[in-house]
Amino acid sequence: MSSTPQTQHPKLRDPDWTRRWLGFCVFVVLLWPILVATEFKPWILVEPGNLKISGQFLSSFWPLETNAEFLTMVAQGTWRTVAMATVGVVLAMLVACPMALLSCRVLSISALCGRMGWLPFGVRLLVRWVLIVLRSVPELVWALVFVRVVGLGPTAGVLAIALTYGGMLGKVYGEILESSDAHATQNLLRNGGSRMQAFFYALLPSSSSELASYTVYRWECAIRSSVILGFVGAGGLGQQLDNSMKMFNGGEVATILLVFMALVAITERISNWLRSSLS
């Protein structure tokens, strides 16, 4: 069989296709037992009996509770919650910044040309383990512990948020710093600058926008956590929500939830403004 000039080249195949397809199949195969283990049956929600209960629950949200005394209490609770979240995140940043700098491989001088020395590698590993420990304990558990130590009130919430979020911020700051373009940083280190100089003159300007937007997102998460911590005695909006739900007052619950949604919308605006002003 003579081959025409068009059929002389063999048909080209994408070499990565097999690997990707196998990866996808493995993912689906793993997903099935996970769904079974979590008793994933969303159709239960739309059974007639359950729909009636949901309907009754939602209808209790209307009318919203708007009397002045309650709104004053909600305002105070909001202020407390925001304050708790803000102080918690600031303390978390104080914990996270030195850890992130210590764990960042981009600032390693021994790794400039060749493999990192064993001591710098060990220090970085140790810092990462500390960060893992800090963020693996949920803030609810920390708050329960601190409420016993310092008593009811926002202090317990602040400390819980500071520890857990310190671990989270430290890890993500380190990852953002490592994933930014290292060319300018490496050049400053190669020309004899110190690590901190390279950080402030090259690494930070390259990644400031992402660091800021992640920090504002974590502040928003901290506000949410403060609400949850209020359930265990840390005060603020969470405590209000807890009281209202225990008294089955749907109107008050709805008002508090709407205030909370407004808070989140405000943090979104702040994040956008910060990102645009830094870039």
Interface ranges with another protein (CB under 8 A): 109-110, 112-114, 180, 183-184, 186-188, 190-194, 196-197, 200-202, 205-210, 278-279
Residue in 135, 35, 152, 15 with CA at minimum distance from that of residue 84: 152
Q: Closer CB to another protein, residue 47 or residue 181? A: 181
Cα separations (Å) of 118 from 66, 121, 123, 177, 194? 63, 5, 9, 22, 20
Shortest spacing between CB 112 and another protein, in angstroms: 7
Q: Closer CB to another protein, residue 50 or residue 194? A: 194
* DSSP string for 35-76: HHHTT--GGGGGSHHHHHHHHHHHHTT-SPP--HHHHHHHHH
Distance CA 61, CA 65 (A): 9
Shortest spacing between CB 216 and another protein, in angstroms: 16
Q: Closer CB to another protein, residue 5 or residue 192? A: 192
Shortest spacing between CB 120 and another protein, in angstroms: 10
Whether the upstream peptide bond of residue 10 has omega within 30° of 0, thus cis, is no
237, 259 contact by CB (below 8 A): yes
Q: Is 248 left (phi over 0), alpha (psi -120 to 50) or beta?
A: left
Q: Closer CB to another protein, residue 211 or residue 237? A: 211
Shortest spacing between CB 12 and another protein, in angstroms: 23
Shortest spacing between CB 190 and another protein, in angstroms: 5
Question: Which residue is associated with the tokens 């619950």?
Answer: 253
Shortest spacing between CB 175 and another protein, in angstroms: 13
Q: Closer CB to another protein, residue 2 or residue 277? A: 277
> Quick count: other Cβ atoms within 10 Å of Cβ 135?
19
Distance CA 189, CA 203 (A): 11
Length of the chain: 279
Shortest spacing between CB 207 and another protein, in angstroms: 8
Q: Closer CB to another protein, residue 7 or residue 110? A: 110
Q: Closer CB to another protein, residue 66 or residue 197? A: 197
Determine the 3-state secondary structure of 10 from DSSP. coil
